[in-house]
Chain A
Amino acid sequence: MARSFSVRAQPGFTTVALICFFLLYLPIATLVVYAFNAGTSIAIWEGFSLRWFHQAWNNSQVIDASIRSVQIATAAAILATICATMAALATTRTRAYRGLTAKYAFINAPLMVPEIVTAVALLIVFSRVKIATGYSGLGYLILAHTAFCIPFAYLPIRARLEAMDLSLETAAADLYATRWQAFRRVTLPLLWPGILAGLMLAFVISLDDVVITEFVKSGGQDTLPTYMLGQLRRVVTPEMNAISTVFLAISILIVTVFFFISRKRDV
């Protein structure tokens, strides 16, 4: 009877697992199913139809908000990833010194600070800047998103750098590579999966943000999530389900693409 211990052999394991999966995915499954509802209700099934996808596609507000979301997320993700890469290089390619831990804490602070606090703070600061400069474009949203995306981009990049053998860069320098050449030819190619992971993560986090966007946006600057929030206050039709379903599909696609890229790079 010398069987190795396995959590799967514990009594009730299957039951607990099923309940967890059920709770996690039942609401999402319901949402997806009713996106294809022919009727106007999000609770009563009246047959299969793609009409809500059609309607959302022809809703200029939805398209407008989607484009804005992607613009902000792209800009913020790129900026955040650049900052995060530099921060990760600076905090790992150095001898440990007093204050290094404090720097980690500062970089990761946006993960800990309640989002609503950041949102209110940005609202106050940006409203003054808006008055002083007269500029009220997307820049504020991009800046705000960049700021809270940095730690999300930073974590996978730093993890990758810490796993990298420092002697590789030393070897490059020994073989006549200047600092820039060593970075471009050795550090960057090896860091690439980490940077991609950071970029994707930052993109998804930005795309998803409601609280800060709601506070910082000027009139007519709805992103997809804030637009949906606004709609929910009025009439809820399966159009919301359709938009959410597309949103979900895109997120899954991004994660899948990243998974395959990073797997290929690691071999």
Chain B
Amino acid sequence: MPSAAGCDDNQRSRQKERDVFSGVIVPEKPDRNAIEVRGVSKRFGIGENAFKALDNVSVTIRENEFFTLLGPSGCGKTTLLRLIAGFDFPTEGQIMLHGQDIAPLPPFKRPVNTVFQSYALFPHMTVGQNIGFGLEMLGKPKAEVKARVDQMLRLVRMEALKDRRTSQISGGQQQRVALARALAPSPKVLLLDEPLSALDYKLRKEMQSELKRLQTETGITFIFVTHDQEEALTMSDRIAVMSAGKILQVGAPWEIYDRPADRFVADFIGETNFLPGTLGAIENGRTTVTLSSGAMLPATLAEGYVPNGPATIVVRPEHARAIREGGDLRGQVENIVYFGTDTHIHVRLDDRNLFTVRQQNSRSRDCGFVVGDAVGVAIAPDGAQVLKD
């Protein structure tokens, strides 16, 4: 796919004409919003039994973005996706697509397509017929449908299987057909509902980079739902972390990982150590924390957070080292877990809290500790952050 970046508006619109993905919106302004969710709530049931699946959610998803909704099951991420697709309607709020409120529209009137968790391929149609279904429903001429189907088959590298039944192809191939079928009508936004969860580990890895490639090549906005934090971190431009019907934080992967907004986000993304501490004076979002051992650490504050009283300090396992003598905290090695690339040393601190240290492995030596050793934990100068509980 040729990229439209750098063209002037005139060129761009002409290119759009020639573009095989002619239905795709090539952004007039690069930063235009694709989807804007405004104050959306969704309740199932009525009265006291009502279940609030989404609670006053607002989020903006930009054009050409790979956006991920991440959270544990039941957090409302799939509900939000279904509202954008039109399979459900919000109890309150608006869903804007390029500035137009689509919340009341039925799914077949929204230029938004979905890749389903179960793929939902039509079993009575061939691979080619599945991919062409959307275009056919849009009333495109036969020749155009055929050309587009062939093009989509090339895009997902499935040319040879065009006339197969969907029951005659493997899970990974079904996944590709589902993607091609959803991309064929050139939707403005592609929704993906945990599409990789049914695949085994290796195939999942392969499809992750495949998805990234498709997103770059087509330039379509992807909204991806997953509960797998690793998947979210590796694939996304931005991530929204959800819990109990609310969005807790929206940000780039590094922001979510390194600057978690609160304890839930820090806990859900990656491995984290939580330590109690007392805060000193706050200046420019920085402070000094006194730990239970008496050690003093510099720490940053989560953005917009004004603490009072005792606070929780979060330290990632890779931002600490295990050392024989000294250290900010002292304890005893309780367990050593080998992971191949690295080793986790679980330290039972003197204040009875557990602390995990991650150490890079090397071929020439082991981690240097055995269970029961007295050990010190040295925290990197920028490793500590103060969090909302």
Q: Which residues on A are within 8 Å of B, measured CB to CB? A: 165, 167-168, 170-178, 181, 185-186, 189-190
A183 CB to nearest chain B CB (Å): 12
Give the distance in Å from the alpha carbon of A147 to the alpha carbon of B108 in the complex.
37
Give the distance in Å from the alpha carbon of A189 to the alpha carbon of B129 in the complex.
14
| Set of chain A residues within 8 Å of B86, measured between Cβ atoms | 173-174
Interface flags for B75-106 (1: CB within 8 Å of A; 0: not) read 00000000001110000000000000000001
Residue pair A173, B120 in contact (C-beta under 8 Å):
no
- The stretch among B110-118, B272-280, B336-344, B381-389 that forms the contact with chain A is B110-118
Give the distance in Å from the alpha carbon of A168 to the alpha carbon of B125 in the complex.
12
| Set of chain A residues within 8 Å of B1, measured between Cβ atoms | none
Q: Which of A165, A167, A170, A177 contacts B137 (CB 8 A)?
A: A177
Give the distance in Å from the alpha carbon of A139 to the alpha carbon of B134 in the complex.
44
Residue pair B134, A189 in contact (C-beta under 8 Å):
no
Judged by DSSP, the binding face of A is helix
Residue pair B181, A170 in contact (C-beta under 8 Å):
no
Residue pair A181, B107 in contact (C-beta under 8 Å):
no
Residue pair A175, B118 in contact (C-beta under 8 Å):
no
Residue pair B120, A168 in contact (C-beta under 8 Å):
yes
Q: Would A174 and B118 be within 8 Å (CB), given that A181-B137, A189-B124 are in contact? A: no
Q: Would A176 and B123 be within 8 Å (CB), given that A167-B118, A171-B116, A181-B137 are in contact? A: no
Give the distance in Å from the alpha carbon of A176 to the alpha carbon of B134 in the complex.
6
| Set of chain A residues within 8 Å of B134, measured between Cβ atoms | 175-176
Residue pair A176, B108 in contact (C-beta under 8 Å):
yes
B interface size (C-beta, 8 A): 23
Give the distance in Å from the alpha carbon of A178 to the alpha carbon of B85 in the complex.
15
Residue pair A178, B120 in contact (C-beta under 8 Å):
no
Residue pair B185, A175 in contact (C-beta under 8 Å):
yes
Name B82's closest neighbour in chain A (CB-CB): A170
Q: Which of A167, A176, A189 contacts B120 (CB 8 A)?
A: A167
Interface residues of B in 124-145 (CB under 8 A from A): 124, 133-134, 137-138
A97 CB to nearest chain B CB (Å): 11
Give the distance in Å from the alpha carbon of A170 to the alpha carbon of B88 in the complex.
11
Known: A176-B138, A178-B137. 17 other contacts (CB 8 A): A167-B116, A167-B120, A168-B122, A168-B123, A170-B116, A172-B133, A173-B86, A173-B107, A174-B85, A174-B107, A174-B112, A175-B133, A175-B134, A175-B137, A175-B185, A185-B133, A186-B122
Residue pair B123, A190 in contact (C-beta under 8 Å):
yes
Q: Would A178 and B116 be within 8 Å (CB), given that A170-B87, A172-B133, A189-B124 are in contact? A: no
| Set of chain B residues within 8 Å of A178, measured between Cβ atoms | 108, 137
B302 CB to nearest chain A CB (Å): 38
Q: Would A176 and B122 be within 8 Å (CB), given that A167-B116, A170-B87, A171-B116 are in contact? A: no
Q: Which of A165, A168, A174, A185 contacts B113 (CB 8 A)?
A: A174
A to B CB contacts below 8 Å, 23 in the list: A165-B120, A167-B120, A168-B123, A170-B116, A170-B120, A171-B114, A171-B116, A171-B122, A172-B122, A173-B106, A173-B108, A174-B107, A174-B108, A174-B113, A174-B114, A175-B108, A175-B134, A175-B182, A175-B185, A176-B108, A176-B185, A178-B137, A186-B122
